[in-house]
Structure formats: C-alpha cells, structure tokens
C-alpha cells in the first residue's frame, strides 16, 4: 500500500464548477501538507501549504486537513479553464527545510475545466 493515495482521475468539469481533490495517507507522522499544480510538460509549482489540521484559504483555493481521518482536500471555487492541470498532494513529517526537501507525493489528479 502506498503511503499517500490520490485518485488519478481524470476529472472533467464545466467552467464555474466547484472542484474537490482529495488524498488519503497512512503515515500518522505527516504534519506538513502541500498541494502542487503541474501544467502539461512543466515542473510542479507550489499552490498551497498547510501545517497540521485545519483549513487554509487563498483566493479561489481552499486546503483542508483532517489528521484524525488522515485525509486532505483541495477545493477550487469558480473553476476556470486555466485551472486545467495535474494536481499533486505532497506531505512531510518534518518541516521541509529540515526534512531536506524529502516529500512524499500522491499520484496526481488530472483536471480539465471545459468552457
């Protein structure tokens, strides 16, 4: 069993829809949770960063962490065609700079937002 599981999709939604992306994990030591966005043929870029449990909002994006269920989510409101990308969750047991950039990634979910 992988430490981090992510539904690879693909997920296709109409413009304006609310998108929900999810990851589950098995390692209870994970405390730092990230979402990366990766456009086709590009490197991933950090979208959201959350420490421990709770919610974090940034514009149209909301990240949620439920450590009791070992479950994290990313919500995208009012989705746009420019949101079409692969979304990867990533986790670390230590702060990234002390874990030396060692992250455990999910498989990635391919999202398409059509006009």
Partner 1 sequence: NAGVTQTPKFQVLKTGQSMTLQCAQDMNHEYMSWYRQDPGMGLRLIHYSVGAGITDQGEVPNGYNVSRSTTEDFPLRLLSAAPSQTSVYFCASTRNYEQYFGPGTRLTVT
- 65 counts as binding partner 1 under rule CB under 8 A: no
Please identify which residue in 107, 111, 112, 115 interacts with partner 1, judged by CB under 8 A: 107
Piece of the chain touching partner 1 by CB under 8 A; list 11-19, 52-60, 74-82, 95-103:
95-103
| Residues of this chain, 44-63, that bind partner 1 according to CB under 8 A | 44-46, 49
Q: Which of 8, 18, 5 is nearest to 77 (CA)?
A: 18
Q: Which is nearer to partner 1, 17 or 61 (CB)?
A: 61
Please identify which residue in 25, 30, 32, 87 interacts with partner 1, judged by CB under 8 A: 32
Quickly list DSSP for 72-83.
EEEEESS--GGG
Q: Which of 89, 59, 53, 86 is nearest to 74 (CA)?
A: 89
* Count helices and strands in the chain by DSSP H and E runs: 0, 11
């Amino acid at each position: 069993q992988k430490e981090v599981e992510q539904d690879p999709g693909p997920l296709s939604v109409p413009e304006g829809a609310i998108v929900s992306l999810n990851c589950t994990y098995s390692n209870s030591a994970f405390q730092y949770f990230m979402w990366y966005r990766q456009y086709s043929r590009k490197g991933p870029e950090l979208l959201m960063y959350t420490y421990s449990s709770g919610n974090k909002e940034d514009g149209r994006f909301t990240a949620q962490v439920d450590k009791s269920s070992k479950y994290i989510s990313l919500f995208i409101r009012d989705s746009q065609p420019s949101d079409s990308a692969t979304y990867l969750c990533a986790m670390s047991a230590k702060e990234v700079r002390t874990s030396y950039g060692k992250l455990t990634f999910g498989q990635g979910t391919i999202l398409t937002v059509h006009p």
